Amino acid sequence: MPWFVWLLAAAALGAAEFFTLTLVFGLLAGAALVAAVVAGVGIGVVGQLVAFGAAAAAGLVIVRPIAQRHTAQQPITREGSDALIGKRAEVLQEVTATRGLIKLSGEEWSARALDESHVIPVGALVDVMEIEGATAIVHPRELLP
């Protein structure tokens, strides 16, 4: 089989990978490139198929599981507003289910209570449970009176 046929197959598999993002078609495209090189050197069809099969098997058995493990891991560092989740803050203006103000990491943030029945007084310490836009959703660190 001519080398350019393998090159066309690699391009088609690469395009399929672009639309599916499964990594399978990408690894098969790489295997087709290996077969194109083997064909370009002058090795026969049987050698090309063996090279394609070996490269595809190596990719699917070795590379894909490693790549899947890495993509499944959570990022090590949190950035932006995600880094504020779990931080302690001080209430500057009474926090209710609809409004309030806290001091978080040296900045003033609008805040809402996580539990709609809570009214958190000025000076209380709270934990940031989540961030919604520019509003921190907080929960008191200690029991409220």
User: Given this model, what pLDDT does residue 18 score?
Assistant: 94
Q: What is the pLDDT of residues 64-119, one digit of tens each?
A: 899 888 888 776 777 778 888 999 999 999 999 999 999 998 999 999 999 888 89
Q: What is residue 73's predicted lDDT score, i.e. its pLDDT? A: 79
pLDDT at residue 5, rounded to an integer: 95
Strands 88-93 and 101-104, sheet pairing:
antiparallel
Q: What is the pLDDT of residue 13?
A: 95
The predicted-structure confidence for 113-143, as pLDDT tens digits, reads as follows 998 888 999 999 999 999 999 899 999 988 7
Amino acid 145: pLDDT: 61
Kindly provide the residue ranges of all beta strands, DSSP E only, lying in the chain, ordered along the sequence.
88-93, 101-104, 107-113, 125-132, 135-140
Instruction: Compute the residue count for the chain.
Output: 145
Residue 7 or residue 71, greater confidence: 7
pLDDT for 47 beyond 80: yes
Predicted confidence at residue 144, as pLDDT, reads 65
Contacts for 29 with CB less than 8 Å, ≥ 6 apart:
9, 10, 11, 13, 14, 17
pLDDT band of 40, cuts 50, 70, 90: very high
Tell me, rounded to whole angstroms, the distance of Cα 16 from its chain centroid: 22
- Residue 31 pLDDT exceeds 80: yes
Assign 22 a pLDDT band (cuts: 50, 70, 90): confident
- Quote the CA–CA distance of 2 and 38 in Å, as a whole number: 10
